[in-house]
Amino acid sequence: MNAELLTLDAVQLAAAYRKREVSPVDATRAVLDRAEATQATLNAFVTLDHAGALAAAGAAEKRWHDATPLSAIDGVPVSIKDNVYTEGMPTRFGSKAIVEADTQGPDSPSVARLREAGAVIFGKTTLPDFAHKIVTDSPLTGITRNPWDLSRSPGGSSGGASAAVAAGIGPLAVGTDGGGSIRVPAAWAGIYGLKPSFGRVPHHPRGAFPTVSHVGPMTRTVRDAALMMNVMAQPDRRDWYALPYHGADYEAQLTIDLKGKRIAFSPDFGMSQEVDPEIAAAVACAVKILADLGAHVDTAQPADIAASTEVHGTHWCAFSARLGERLGPRAALLDVSMRALIQRGKAFPPGAFVDAVVARGDIGSRIQGFFEQHDLLVGPVINCIAPVIADVDPENPPLPYFTAWCNQAGVPAASLPCGLTRSGLPIGVHVIGGPRADALVLAASHAIEQAFGTLTPPM
């Protein structure tokens, strides 16, 4: 295994391909070897496609040799979360309860666009049952672990993706986020994760939590995420919810001037969750970076975050109950915490979900009003560091208090590293934009990254 290849990000790999210093085939072999070597410890993958990945890498190698790459990420290895359909590999949604006939399908939009760009899709990453919680374990695949400390969770539900990217198993990953499922694992595994605006990256089929689920990039660097967005945000008619394609070049906009931008800083989003002091201190340092660049910072947050989080819970339980109905007797195969969600959803009075939908609209409009007064909101991603797996209550896993409201509002939000705790665990800062301000979220993330750098776990 060529360990040096595993440290290269997508931009560096493409530069090496261009100079013929590195072959996409060699890079892909190194990633596959690393995936196999760490599977017994990290357990980040459900499926690996050696033959398909090496064939795609060989085609990319020829294009780079002929100076005709399809895109800036041609030949770069990318993993796909196992709730995003990938032709040629089964998609099991992290669950034993999935019906076998439902595991096969054509590429989802993000996967189709990545293939068209020449990216090398090499495997499917782990998640909990139907992406329902922010730690990653399931009856199907067992426990996925954090490369910073194998006793701890890498987060969820995109935990396989975060563990893989952090451990050097491919520089790019596709994750999904229904309430924090990109951002929490990005924070706990020390990588970058972007939940784009709802509909900015087309997604189909939308899975168990359709109106709050977003697809986005999980990477080591902000620039790599911008390159993925340039590809994944391209249109696909299958997603009725998709925003109109506007052809943005997110990489070119990473240098947006932040001078004069109005930044709201919230140490706890106005909620009652106590924030770990080391997280609080690191996030405050990240905010100071933006202030030093000329941004105007004040302490504020939307008044509706707590109410939006409650509304999100109603959506989550109602969607779970509907999933349970569709699965029928197979629902007994689900994780105990997923079954608890189903039971809570079944206990709702008639009309509760409709009331929550109406409340979501009212709350969302007021949150949009907040972002008319502020360009960005910055705070913690979550109030605690990655938990010890043995300490997680199987029936009551951690909740994404600081992230779920962003899904209700549909606004773009990212997590990126802003240092380590004294015990050597990553800390994430939450950068949130107003409606459709994806480019600004990426630019602010890039500015913070320039100060803090990127992280690499010791394993």
The 3-state DSSP class for residue 47 equals strand
Q: What angle do CA 363, 265, 268 make, to 5 degrees?
A: 70
**Alpha-carbon distances of 113 from 47, 79, 120, 219, rounded to whole Å:** 21, 14, 12, 17
Decide: 127 and 134 in contact? Cβ < 8 Å: no
Radius of gyration (C-alpha) of the chain in whole angstroms: 20
Q: Is 197 known to be catalytic?
A: no
Tell me the C-alpha distance between 408 and 298, whole Å.
24
Residue 432, strand partner residues: 377, 413
Sheet (strand 120-125) strand order: 45-48, 120-125, 77-81, 172-177, 214-219, 192-195, 413-420, 426-433, 376-380, 262-265, 296-299
Question: Considering 157, 320, 415, 445, which one is annotated as catalytic?
Answer: 157
Question: Considering 110, 162, 181, 337, which one is annotated as catalytic?
Answer: 181
Tokens of 253: 């906009």
Contacts 24+ apart (CB under 8 A), 37-43: 37/1, 38/147, 38/167, 38/169, 38/459, 41/145, 41/150, 41/459, 42/144, 42/145, 42/147, 42/150, 42/154, 42/163, 42/164, 42/167, 43/126, 43/141, 43/142, 43/143, 43/144, 43/145, 43/160
Scanning the structure block, which residue is given the tokens 């709350």? 363
Q: Is 157 known to be catalytic?
A: yes
Q: Is 81 known to be catalytic?
A: yes
Neighbours of 406 (CB within 10 A): 30
Question: Considering 81, 124, 195, 261, which one is annotated as catalytic?
Answer: 81
Decide: 452 and 286 in contact? Cβ < 8 Å: yes
Tokens of 111: 């996967």
- Beta-carbon contacts of 21 under 8 Å, excluding residues fewer than 6 positions away, are none
Tell me the C-alpha distance between 380 and 68, whole Å.
43
Decide: 225 and 217 in contact? Cβ < 8 Å: yes
The 3-state DSSP class for residue 155 equals coil
Tell me the C-alpha distance between 246 and 253, whole Å.
14
- Beta-carbon contacts of 449 under 8 Å, excluding residues fewer than 6 positions away, are 192, 221, 222, 416, 417
Q: Are strands 262-265 and 214-219 parallel, antiparallel or unpaired?
A: unpaired
Active site residues: 81, 157, 181
